[in-house]
């Protein structure tokens, strides 16, 4: 494998890990461009979409080299994102070679995720905190905690079974139930509508907006 192919594979490996771990597309794209810039060539291209990565590296003799890679699974793991960022900085600064960088990416990719209990508790706590964000009471917090706990168990189970369609459907139904359990009838004017902007991009966004 020549250097250009290794460089493109490194950019795609780094982008895949970041995108699959929940990084924003513009950050993924920026990281891939920085990795490709080590080649010293102009007009390098890197494109990151929700489920697809594409990179192009110009070559004078053989013409431009382009590769694409689909990203099927999405999760949330900031530890892996930070690890890829550290790897890319070390590579761009010349501290590690492209071969070493590829090995780092493989290690990051195969690194274990959080334990089952940690993940489920995180789902439950983050889901319950949304109750306070939209003006819910302590009782709403507890109800939302139980719902998010059950949802977390379901999502982890579906993830292990690789049932993506059912996972998405479960997210939507759980988010809908979460909103119905919050009673805005007595204190509707106290709901912090600005807090709804914080829900951008999460499963509860549409149900909350429709309810308000």
pTM of the model: 0.60
Please tell me the predicted confidence (pLDDT) of residue 159: 72
**pLDDT (tens digit per residue) in 145-187:** 999 888 888 877 777 776 654 445 545 555 555 455 555 455 4
Q: Considering only CA atoms, which of 27, 32, 26 is closest in space to residue 10?
A: 32
Task: Tell me: pLDDT of 26 over 60.
Answer: yes
Q: Considering only CA atoms, which of 80, 102, 67 is closest in space to residue 18?
A: 80
Q: How many CB atoms lie within 10 A of CB 191?
A: 18
Q: What is the DSSP letter of 96?
A: S
């Amino acid at each position: 494998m020549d250097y250009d192919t290794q460089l493109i594979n490194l950019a795609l490996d780094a982008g895949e890990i970041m995108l699959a771990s929940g990084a924003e597309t513009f950050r993924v794209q920026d990281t891939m461009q920085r990795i490709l810039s080590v080649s010293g060539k102009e007009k390098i291209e890197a494109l990151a979409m929700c489920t697809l990565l594409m990179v192009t590296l110009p070559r004078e003799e053989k013409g431009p080299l382009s590769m694409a890679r689909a990203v099927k699974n999405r999760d949330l793991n900031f530890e892996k994102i930070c690890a890829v960022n550290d790897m890319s900085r070390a590579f761009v600064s010349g501290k590690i070679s492209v071969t070493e960088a590829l090995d780092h990416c493989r290690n990051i990719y195969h690194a274990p995720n959080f334990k089952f209990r940690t993940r489920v508790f995180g789902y439950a706590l983050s889901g319950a905190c949304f109750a306070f964000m939209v003006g819910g009471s302590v009782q709403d917090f507890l109800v939302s905690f139980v719902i998010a706990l059950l949802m977390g168990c379901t999502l982890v189970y579906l993830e292990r079974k690789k049932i993506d369609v059912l996972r998405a459907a479960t997210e939507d139904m759980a988010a809908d139930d979460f909103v119905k359990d919050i009673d805005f009838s007595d204190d509707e004017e106290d709901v912090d509508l600005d807090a709804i902007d914080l829900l951008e991009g999460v499963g509860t966004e549409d149900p909350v907006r429709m309810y308000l």
